[in-house]
Structure 1
């Protein structure tokens, strides 16, 4: 018995075809938008690739670009089929390819759901990628004269100003690394010798942050050096006073930014599927007793049989295909074995 049967006359079939046609072309626009967002996401990740721990973060934008291209092609073809369905005689030429196309659409819709799931789940590995990448990037901040790392200072400064953040988790992360190049340190000065000598790794550590951590909205001139020394600044208490540097860590800021993009894309992906409407168009036209009599009534359905019967048929077909493959693999060896057994039995 068919699943979700709906009766259609000419007027209803035309409205259905027009509605599904509109939805398909809306899905084409959504596919173009998905492709555009995938490209935008890839560009944004590439802009800060130096702050990423690995290149696996580009898997998702690459997947979105591919899915966007396929969605545009599938939905444009579906729109053409719906347009031709307004004339049953034109629709006849699509009958041979329509069922495989609908099966492909079902598979593609499943892949779309997986892609949407990826958009929401990839936030977790992105968090670890950003944490490790930012940590390494901050270590190379001082290497402005080293080939391959000379732009790291500029990249981090621009990022902290753009996203209004400081450090990895917070501004105190800068206290734990040497971010001032040895080129700008006077090693004959007592303060520099004491700082380097007091550190196990021989680094010049200080309670200061780069200028890009400063909050321009603060009424007080930025205090970026000796931030924990109250006596170094007039009327200053770093325990109680509102600091004039960004308190938010860059990992959290970037994660919110990229996470927002991924959530938007994930919600968009779900809107691309229009397979159910085309199935009703196809079944309602296929059930016409006489294709030339377009005004006669017909029945449209979601599945030709019940869900259980459809699943059983699919499993039977798969088993049949599997047996056929085994016979082909056995080939002449299988025939020879059967012949030998029959000969021995007769003798």
Structure 2
């Protein structure tokens, strides 16, 4: 009877080891995905981040990058701990899993919170940013971001092209008679912004605000889904790790 019980324990441990190894490999790949989503958000969309008054969107992406790096390192540690059957390493691995789980849940929660308040923030701040900072020497990054926004989303102004009438730069000599920035034009050429006829510039209902809002909301969904989704998968890893840790404690040597 004792031999059979020992065999069952050994068999159970081996099964858990391979299950945990498989999980670690998938976990390592998932870490790469998490990090990639965070880096992509920060690198490709950094111009748009500068138009947002809150840092929550950027913070969510930074958390994903940090979590992704830790996940990849933890995945390697998990493989070592599993095959060497070292209980101390397994315990460290389990603690790291819990820490990453909390980080990713935090990223998901931040994305959800910002999802709820984004519309109000854009209403209050996007127009002011365009009016007060566009064209200023000390706000070149804002000018670049607005130009990119208007060209990529084929829009003009925060709510409409008429918003540009309130911009200070438009009334300066350096604007050379433009009534809207050249980036509002359907075909961008120098001084095309001197004519704001619908045949020449983008006239989009709701302006750039609705376009940027939709864009950010879609990406918040991705950030939230990736963070919470991988965190849920980690629960399986925590269960496997806990079971293997327990088996190694009770298994005879």
- For the criterion TM > 0.5, the same-fold answer is yes
Q: Deviations over 1:127-182 (max 9, x none)?
A: 45544442233214763xx4213565454232111122232234443455566232
Q: CA 1:106/1:225 → structure 2, altered by over 3 Å: closer, same or farther?
A: closer
Q: Match for 2:196 among 214, 225, 246?
A: 225
> What is the root-mean-square deviation of aligned Cα atoms in Å?
3.7
- Matched with 1:106 is 98
Taking the aligned partners of 1:55 and 1:285, their CA distance within structure 2 comes to: 45
- 8 A Cα contact 2:151 2:183, kept in partner: yes
- Matched with 1:267 is 225
Taking the aligned partners of 2:240 and 2:171, their CA distance within structure 1 comes to: 64
Q: Match for 1:166 among 151, 156, 160?
A: 156
- Matched with 1:285 is 248
Q: Deviations over 1:305-341 (max 9, x none)?
A: xxxxxxxxxxxxxxxxxxxxxxxxxxxxxxxxxxxxx
Number of aligned residues = 236
The gaps in structure 2 that reach 5 residues or longer are 1-6, 188-192
Taking the aligned partners of 1:157 and 1:271, their CA distance within structure 2 comes to: 36
Look at both structures and tell me which one has the larger radius of gyration over its CA atoms.
Answer: 1
- Matched with 2:190 is none
Output the TM-score relative to the length of structure 2: 0.73
Report the CA distance between 1:266 and its aligned residue.
Answer: 2.3
Report the CA distance between 1:244 and its aligned residue.
Answer: 6.0
- 8 A Cα contact 1:214 1:244, kept in partner: yes
Q: Match for 2:113 among 106, 117, 121?
A: 121
Q: Deviations over 1:51-106 (max 9, x none)?
A: 2335554322222222222222222211222233xxxxxx2xx2245345434533
- Matched with 1:157 is 147
- Matched with 1:72 is 72
User: Which of the two has greater helix per residue?
Assistant: 2
The gaps in structure 1 that reach 5 residues or longer are 1-6, 85-90, 187-191, 193-205, 217-221, 228-232, 234-242, 292-347
Taking the aligned partners of 1:11 and 1:28, their CA distance within structure 2 comes to: 26
5 Å-filtered alignment, 1:1-347, equals 8=8, 10-53=10-53, 55=55, 57-84=57-84, 91=85, 94-99=86-91, 101-140=93-132, 143=135, 146-150=136-140, 152-174=142-164, 177=167, 180-183=170-173, 209-214=180-185, 225=196, 245-269=203-227, 270-272=229-231, 273=234, 274-288=237-251, 290-291=252-253
- 8 A Cα contact 2:134 2:167, kept in partner: no
